[in-house]
Amino acid sequence: MSELDAVVVGGGISGLATAHCLARSGLKVELWESASRVGGKIHTASQDGYCLDSAASMVMNLRNEVDAFIETSGLDTSKLPRAPGNKRYVLDASRLQEVPTGFGKLLRTPLLSTAGKLRLLAEPLVGRGKDPHESVAAFVGRRLGREFLEKVFEPYLAGPLASDVDHAEAVSTMPRLRALESRYGSLALGALLHKCLSRGSAARPQAFSFSGGMASLIDGLARNGGFRLRKGLHANGIWPVKGGWMVAGSADKQSRTVFARQLVLSTPAGAAARLVHALDPLLAELLGGIDYAPIKVVHTGFERARVGHPLGGSGFLVPRHSGFECNGCLWISSLFPGHAPAGKVLLTTYLGGARNPAAAGWDQTRCLDAVSPMLRKLLAARGEPDMVHIASHQSALPLYHGRYSERLSRIAAHLEQLPGLHLEANYRGGVSVRDRILCAQAAASRILRQQQEKPARTSIWLDSSKLPDVAAATGTIS
């Protein structure tokens, strides 16, 4: 039977990054992925010369740790910086308005009324909130006003995060803003002081993809991560033993059972719940109660001459009650010109999320019925697209809804009773690629500290009737 320092179950970006960080620290690591490929929802397809990302289309970074991760992973040479031009737009009535990014633009923007601008300027006078679980709508409305909430924050929550501002918990969804209020009493004052105090210590904000799309990040980690990758191996049982964990898995008619001092579950919450249910039913219930939003990613390609809008920027978001069924649109060929053939443009539109979960069941015709009128009206797109590619994710992003921070605290309390077991997935610590890399680095540091400590006996043990029948397996995977 193999002995490992760590087994990571789940080969999405969370699992890959965690396995890589552990392996680079000198640990013997295996990563198990039940599918035939790694990457989870991150996947890049090629069609008619277009580079089509099915989920994350870029890394938005402002942390030096992420830069170091990319460099040590050997991926820095394949980084593809975003093209110059950082304008972002939001639909306001029937036209696109640039989202103001500075104080001067904020005062001049036609996006907000005079009353809305005055309400923003009054933010430093607003007192701290008393409800630790208030929603994003309550938090932003209280500090910045309802107009800013509806025109800026609601589209952002519904688009990149697929969430509902009325149900998303502010402290879980936007912890940095809540921290500014908690520490400084004001978002504006806190942001200014934080900028001054951290000057020189933070990475320059940047956005980048990779040559060949985001799958290059996945392929690079899988190929050069330093761990042993086992694809098609489904974890079907875990149980604690002295000094670590036993993990049982199967692939076709073969089985594999290993001992690992540390076990990392980087699966979606529901899959993690099934694995821990026999150990801790209450933990499984907490994990199983995490909801996910479905998303449709609709790629459309056009001849450049058939799109009248200059497409100078990154794209636009769509507020609720706009009359359109889409959440937003990225101008991928403006961000990364090489992702579309010469003389073509690539427009990627997002449907679904908490705002419209029914879109998960739409076919291509229904998706285009939602997307095409918006592209015609807002971008002056003429005719039918030359290329259409749709990616569907039934459970795309976890929803940090309700008293989510309380749920995470209860999960953490249960994990304290299961030393050596770690949950590293996008339902804890953020959904972006940047967040997943940062969480992986933090998890690796924590695991290394535990490795240096004397192994502790886990406090939960299973009786023999609950152990997987590994002896009945027909073979063993070496």
Residues 52 and 136 both lie in one domain: no
Strand partners, 47: 50
Residues whose CB is less than 8 angstroms from the CB of residue 1 and which lie 6 or more positions away in sequence, other chains included: 257, 258, 259
Distance CA 154, CA 405 (A): 20
Considering the domain architecture, whether residues 307 and 375 belong to the same structural domain is answered as yes
Boundaries of domain holding 273 = 2-41+214-290+401-472
72 domain-assigned = no
Please give the pLDDT value at position 457.
43
- Residues 373 and 332: their CA atoms lie apart, in Å, by 19
Q: What percent of the chain has pLDDT above 90?
A: 82
Find the mean pLDDT for residues 377-398. 97
| Residue 443, domain CATH | 3.50.50.60
**Contact criterion met (CB below 8 Å) for 367 and 325:** no
Name every residue whose Cβ is closer than 8 Å to that of residue 153 and which is 6 or more positions away in sequence.
136, 140, 144, 165
92 part of a folded domain: no
Tokens 């026999």 correspond to what residue? Answer: 278
Give start and end residues of each alpha helix (H) in 30-96. 64-72
Same domain, 248 and 345: no
Residue 69 inside a domain? The answer is: no
| DSSP single-letter state for residue 381 | B
Give yes or no: residues 352 and 387 share one domain: yes
* pLDDT, tens only, 281-327: 999 999 999 999 999 999 999 999 999 999 999 999 999 999 999 99
Residues 282 and 408 in one domain: yes
Q: What is the mean pLDDT of residues 203-212?
A: 84
Same-domain check for residues 151 and 231: no
Are 340 and 271 members of one domain? Answer: no
Q: DSSP class of residue 228?
A: E
Whether 359 and 454 map to the same domain: the answer is: no
CA dihedral 69, 71, 77, 79 (to 10 degrees): 30
Q: Assign 466 to helix, strand or coil.
A: helix
For residue 207, tell me if it sits in a domain: no
The whole-number pLDDT of residue 204 equals 63
Is residue 27 in some structural domain?
Answer: yes
Domain end marker among 168, 197, 226: 197
Q: Is 206 inside any structural domain?
A: no
Mark which of 381, 398, 415 sits at the end of a domain: 398
- Under the banding of pLDDT at 50, 70 and 90, the label for residue 253 is confident
pLDDT for residue 461 is more than 50: no
The model's pTM is 0.91
> Would you say 14 and 28 are in contact if contact means Cβ atoms under 8 Å apart?
no
- Please count the structural domains in the chain: 3
275 shares its domain with 408: yes
Quick check: helix, strand or coil at residue 132? Answer: coil
CATH number for the domain including 169?
1.10.3110.10
Q: Give the residue-averaged pLDDT of 153-159.
A: 95
Among 398, 414, 433, the domain-final residue is 398
* 286 shares its domain with 310: no
Tracing tokens 């990392």 back to the chain, one arrives at 264
Instruction: Tell me how far apart the alpha carbons of residues 358 and 105 are, in angstroms, rounded to a whole number.
Output: 37
- Is 149 found in the same domain as 117? yes
- Judge if 281 and 413 occupy the same domain: yes
How much is the mean pLDDT over the chain? 91
Residue 139 is encoded by which pair of tokens? 């938090």
According to the model, what pLDDT value does residue 1 have? 60
Q: What is the CATH number of the domain that holds 310?
A: 3.90.660.20
The reply to whether 319 falls in a domain is: yes
CB 13 within 8 A of CB 436: yes
pLDDT score for 321: 92
How confident is the model over 95-138, as pLDDT tens digits?
999 998 877 888 889 999 999 999 999 999 999 999 999 999 99
Check if the beta carbon of residue 120 is closer than 8 Å to that of residue 144: yes
Would you say residue 279 lies in a domain? yes
Q: Distance between terminal CA atoms of the chain?
A: 9
380-390 pLDDT, tens digit each: 999 999 999 99
Q: Are strands 59-61 and 206-210 parallel, antiparallel or unpaired?
A: antiparallel
pLDDT of residue 409: 98
